[in-house]
Amino acid sequence: MSTTEKLTADEKALLEKMLSGEISLRKIEDHLDKDGSAKLRRAYLEAKENVSLDHVSTYTFDTEAVAKKNIENFIGAVQIPLGVAGEIKIDGDYAKGNYYLPLATTEGALVASVNRGCSIITKSGGATVRVFKNMMTRAPVFKFGSLGETKDFYDWLMLPETFDKMKKAADATTRFGALLEAQPFVSGNNVHLRLGFDTKDAMGMNMITIASEAITKLIADEKGVPCVSLSGNMCTDKKPTAINAILGRGKTVIAEARLSASFIEETLKCTAESMFDVNYRKNFIGSMRAGALGFNAHAANIVAAVFLACGQDPAHVVEGSLCVTEMDLADNGDLICSVTMPAVEVGTVGGGTSIATQQECLKLLGVAGAGEVPGANALALSEIVTAAVLAGEVSLVAAQAAGHLARAHAQLGR
């Protein structure tokens, strides 16, 4: 049955007004609640485009809440298959214990690969994970008429008392966030001010955008310098950049596992030396020759799957792809495997984390909502994401070292 056939007489009258252009897709909410508006939009699209939208009409989350903060022109939901990998043993500063990893993906063999990696790591003693940096960034840009003005502004920014003023202005906009640093970058007569914030359990982009705006207003009042753009792309948000790879953004996290040579030979049907060789020639030489910013096998695969399952911003998979995967041979023949993730941008409050299905996945990991210690849940999630990436990297490199990649896909019918 089409959506139109399910409409009441009043709804059909509204649909006619939409089809005539009298009421827009956005303005239908002036006449109906969120669910009713979604139904009318589906009916409109079905009539205009001659398609059926029956499947996208099925969802379980709170429509009012989602349409208020997560989506505009709401028409329904797209379902993504959800699998689970694990358990994986994690020894982090914030994530400690065994975890099942929720992975939302349409790529066959991905969950199986990560699951194998979890088994490999756990049987080898688990993954050690540490967070090295925790700072979300926003970088407004300013322009000047001369180099002298540019240098004067730069010098003013570098004064300790200037930072104190900026911190006071920024911190006044939020109960949770705090300005940690302000680093200027100069190009000609342009100054990009890269501001770094602690955002606690939120990923924090909304929070720090408001705080950054307060800083630009302070600068305008103090120096008479207008802000050209609140984001000048030195942040850098949702783009692959060297500055994020080098300085980090969000959480900078490293995960490590040690695999014995005998375990690799008996269980993975390859050798520590062959895994080292694959990683070196594929992830280092191949990535370098290709001009890549990330040096890994498929880190973005795992980041995307966890992010979709747990309500993270999927565009931040870009920064997740900056991962560096290392495999070093120890003196005793063991293989020390690690992933360095310079920009894990996650939160456990705000954004998509409150949507019912995504919140269930966060609860599965024990990190839903704000932590008892502010920021602890988001830090734990960043460690879990990094451990999951390590599992995916170890599994894929081992499969390629053993020559099993194509066979695995064929067996799973992919």
Tens of pLDDT along 108-132?
999 999 999 999 999 999 999 999 9
Parent domain of 49: 13-68
Active site residues: 107, 313, 409
Contact between 259 and 337 under an 8 Å Cβ cutoff? The reply is: yes
Eight-class DSSP state of 270: S
* Diameter over CA atoms, the chain: 78
pLDDT digits (tens, 9 = 90+) for 26-45: 999 999 999 999 999 999 99
Q: Do β-strands 178-187 and 127-138 pair in parallel, antiparallel, or remain unpaired?
A: unpaired
Is residue 343 one of the residues assigned to a domain? yes
Task: Give me the mean pLDDT over the 15-30 stretch.
Answer: 96
Residues 109 and 155 in one domain: no
Which pLDDT belongs to residue 405?
65
Cα 153 to chain centroid distance, Å, stands at 34
Is residue 76 one of the residues assigned to a domain? no
Share of the chain above pLDDT 90, in %: 95
Residues 32 and 123 in one domain: no
Residue 296 in this model has a pLDDT that exceeds 60: yes
pLDDT, greater one: 1 or 24: 24
pLDDT digits (tens, 9 = 90+) for 272-287: 999 999 999 999 999 9
Q: What is the mean pLDDT of the chain?
A: 96
Is residue 202 one of the residues assigned to a domain? yes
Find tokens 């059909």 and name the residue: 12
- Strand residue runs (E) in 292-400: 324-329, 335-344
Nearest to 350 by CA among 381, 323, 304: 381
Residues 130 and 173 in one domain: no
Residue 386 in this model has a pLDDT that exceeds 80: yes
Contact between 215 and 167 under an 8 Å Cβ cutoff? The reply is: no
Which pLDDT belongs to residue 409?
56
The CATH number covering residue 116 comes to 3.90.770.10
Which pLDDT belongs to residue 254?
98
Q: Do β-strands 127-138 and 82-92 pair in parallel, antiparallel, or remain unpaired?
A: parallel
Nearest to 177 by CA among 222, 138, 233, 230: 138
CA dist list (Å): 174 to 12, 235, 375: 46, 20, 14
Share of the chain above pLDDT 70, in %: 97
Which pLDDT belongs to residue 414?
57
Q: What is the DSSP string of 41-80?
A: HHHHHHHHH----TGGG---S-HHHHHHHT-SS-------
Which pLDDT belongs to residue 163?
98
The CATH number covering residue 207 comes to 3.30.70.420
Which pLDDT belongs to residue 91?
98
Residues 272 and 331 in one domain: yes
Which pLDDT belongs to residue 407?
58
Angstrom distance (rounded) from CA 214 to CA 222: 12
User: Exposed, middle or buried by CB within 10 Å (0-12, 13-18, 19+), for 332?
Assistant: exposed
Angstrom distance (rounded) from CA 210 to CA 204: 10
pLDDT digits (tens, 9 = 90+) for 338-370: 999 999 999 999 999 999 999 999 999 999 999
Residues 109 and 258 in one domain: yes
Tally of domains within the chain: 3
Q: Dihedral of CA 360/362/363/365: which sign? A: positive
Task: Give me the mean pLDDT over the 90-96 stretch.
Answer: 98
Is residue 321 one of the residues assigned to a domain? yes
Angstrom distance (rounded) from CA 322 to CA 105: 20
Is residue 235 one of the residues assigned to a domain? no
- The enclosing H or E element of 252 equals strand 250-259
Which pLDDT belongs to residue 4?
75
Which pLDDT belongs to residue 56?
96
Angstrom distance (rounded) from CA 230 to CA 132: 27
Contact between 124 and 207 under an 8 Å Cβ cutoff? The reply is: no
Which pLDDT belongs to residue 115?
98
Residue 3 in this model has a pLDDT that exceeds 90: no
Residues 402 and 256 in one domain: yes
Residue 69 in this model has a pLDDT that exceeds 80: yes
Residue 410 in this model has a pLDDT that exceeds 70: no
Residues 94 and 118 in one domain: yes
Which pLDDT belongs to residue 6?
84
Residues 340 and 199 in one domain: no
Helices (H), 265-344: 272-278, 287-290, 299-310, 317-320
Nearest to 335 by CA among 380, 280, 293: 280
Question: In sequence order, what are the residues at sequence separation of 6 or more whose Cβ sits closer than 8 angstroms to the Cβ of residue 206?
Answer: 350
Residues 182 and 275 in one domain: no
Find tokens 């053993």 and name the residue: 402
Task: Give me the mean pLDDT over the 224-232 stretch.
Answer: 96
Is residue 240 one of the residues assigned to a domain? no
Is residue 234 one of the residues assigned to a domain? no
Residues 93 and 164 in one domain: no
Angstrom distance (rounded) from CA 394 to CA 122: 12
Task: Give me the mean pLDDT over the 160-169 stretch.
Answer: 98
Residues 128 and 144 in one domain: no
Angstrom distance (rounded) from CA 369 to CA 376: 10
pLDDT digits (tens, 9 = 90+) for 72-90: 999 999 999 999 999 999 9
Last residue of a domain, one of 68, 97, 112: 68
Is residue 314 one of the residues assigned to a domain? yes
Contact between 250 and 343 under an 8 Å Cβ cutoff? The reply is: yes
Q: How confident is residue 408, by pLDDT bands cut at 50, 70 and 90?
A: low
3-state secondary structure at position 267: helix
pLDDT digits (tens, 9 = 90+) for 204-217: 999 999 999 999 99
Helices (H), 2-144: 9-20, 34-49, 63-69, 110-123
| 347: amino acid identity, one letter | G
Which residues partner with 227 through β-bridges?
Answer: 142
> What's the full length of the chain, in residues?
414
Residues 318 and 197 in one domain: no
